[in-house]
Amino acid sequence: MSKPDLVKLTDAGLYCEQGDFYIDPWRPVGHAIITHAHADHARPGNTKYLAARSGERLLRSRLEPTASIQTVEYGETLDINGVRVSLHPAGHVLGSAQVRLEKDGEVWVISGDYKTEDEMTCASFELVPCHTFITESTFGLPIFRWNGQATVFDEINRWWKANQEAGKASLLFGYALGKAQRILSGVDAGIGPIYTHGAVEKITQAYRESGISLANTTYVGALAKGTKFGGSLIIAPPSAQATPWTRVFGTVSTAFASGWMRIRGTRRRKSVDRGFVLSDHADWVELNQVIKETGAERVIVTHGYSGEMVRWLKEIGVNASSFSTEFEGERDELQPSQTEADSESEPEGADQ
């Protein structure tokens, strides 16, 4: 007889009945294990939280000030009502964790969001072998393949420099938590001054206080009136695009850094001059590699292109199904329709 499932889907989210706790619940519960501080995974209102220690400061900045947060080091094991629980690096954003659950020799891993390319703003992804793997699939289509980040940062630096030579400011949009800090970790700060939107500055400060070293930044709101922005790089969240906030920068070139920039139509609709394909999520190749290497006999897909991913996994003989969750992948970024993603699958020229 097969063992009972360690995680099931409820109205409040992913629930481990044996241990009586939830993982990234979307309704208030008693005991919540949080994989990372993005808003679709870390919601306020829970009685108790458990999270990875390296992300504590970031998580606190997102939850109610009185939140009761217990933290553990990656790999440290807790016994919660007879379930062995440990958190392992997901490589997604600072403090992001995969949750490993074990009971009676059965191991489940809930990935949260993850990527496998090493970088400076968070601990590197750890492959955790398991019997059942619950995976995201934000970019779970074959068209999503990333270039190495060194190539992307080189493109960003060249764009910034060219704008500088033309006397323009460079206004780069990227999600405030994670993406903005990766940009700061990769750009050549020697090119010119770097300015930030308030939302980016606040989270960047939490990263620095957590021990992550990032390029120096100045908060735009702290500058004297009449400051000239020509030649500078300004980093702002996507929500700031086309708002009055952007008017003070003079002549600008705009760009967007996101995995969605892999799709041309998205770039058009974002009305930016340039798109840089930089994501904090696994691409198609990474998703497939991780799913295979966990050795999981069973795979449950939670968000993104879950229907397509399940269909693909079944085709290659994996026992796959999906959970319909409220996780969103890269929030605050325009997600294209399925039809568009399918119709724009040819490779793009480097100058587009």
CA-nearest of 161, 160, 180, 162 to 171 is: 160
Selected range binding Zn ion among 17-25, 33-41, 52-60, 149-157, rule: CB under 5 A = 33-41
Question: Residue 36 CB, nearest distance to Zn ion (Å)?
Answer: 5
Nearer to Zn ion, 56 or 113 (CB): 113
Residues of this chain, 175-234, that bind Zn ion according to CB under 5 A: none
Rounded to the nearest 5°, which phi and psi values hold at 234? -120, 130
Residue 62 makes contact with Zn ion by CB under 5 A: no
Nearer to Zn ion, 38 or 43 (CB): 38
Residue 24 makes contact with Zn ion by CB under 5 A: no
Selected range binding Zn ion among 34-42, 67-75, 161-169, 258-266, rule: CB under 5 A = 34-42
Residue 274 makes contact with Zn ion by CB under 5 A: no
Question: Residue 259 CB, nearest distance to Zn ion (Å)?
Answer: 12
Question: Residue 122 CB, nearest distance to Zn ion (Å)?
Answer: 11
Question: Residue 40 CB, nearest distance to Zn ion (Å)?
Answer: 7
CA-nearest of 283, 253, 84, 46 to 170 is: 253
Residue 281 makes contact with Zn ion by CB under 5 A: no
Residues of this chain, 35-54, that bind Zn ion according to CB under 5 A: 38
Residue 136 makes contact with Zn ion by CB under 5 A: no
Nearer to Zn ion, 87 or 233 (CB): 87
Question: Residue 175 CB, nearest distance to Zn ion (Å)?
Answer: 9
Q: Which tokens sit at 254?
A: 């705009």
Nearer to Zn ion, 38 or 267 (CB): 38
* The pairing of beta strand 97-103 with beta strand 83-89: antiparallel
Residue 333 makes contact with Zn ion by CB under 5 A: no
Question: Residue 92 CB, nearest distance to Zn ion (Å)?
Answer: 6
Nearer to Zn ion, 175 or 249 (CB): 175
**Residue pair 26/43 in contact by the 8 Å Cβ criterion:** yes
Nearer to Zn ion, 274 or 303 (CB): 303
Sheet holding 218-219, edge to edge: 218-219, 194-196, 233-236, 169-173, 252-257, 274-276
Question: Residue 159 CB, nearest distance to Zn ion (Å)?
Answer: 26
Question: Residue 114 CB, nearest distance to Zn ion (Å)?
Answer: 9
Selected range binding Zn ion among 31-39, 140-148, 192-200, 306-314, rule: CB under 5 A = 31-39
Question: Residue 41 CB, nearest distance to Zn ion (Å)?
Answer: 6
Count of residues that bind Zn ion according to CB under 5 A: 2
CA-nearest of 338, 302, 297 to 322 is: 302
**Residue 322: beta bridge partners?**
301
Distances (CA, A) of 74 to 59, 71, 110, 230: 16, 10, 14, 44
Residues of this chain, 98-117, that bind Zn ion according to CB under 5 A: 113
Per CB under 5 A, residues contacting Zn ion are 38, 113
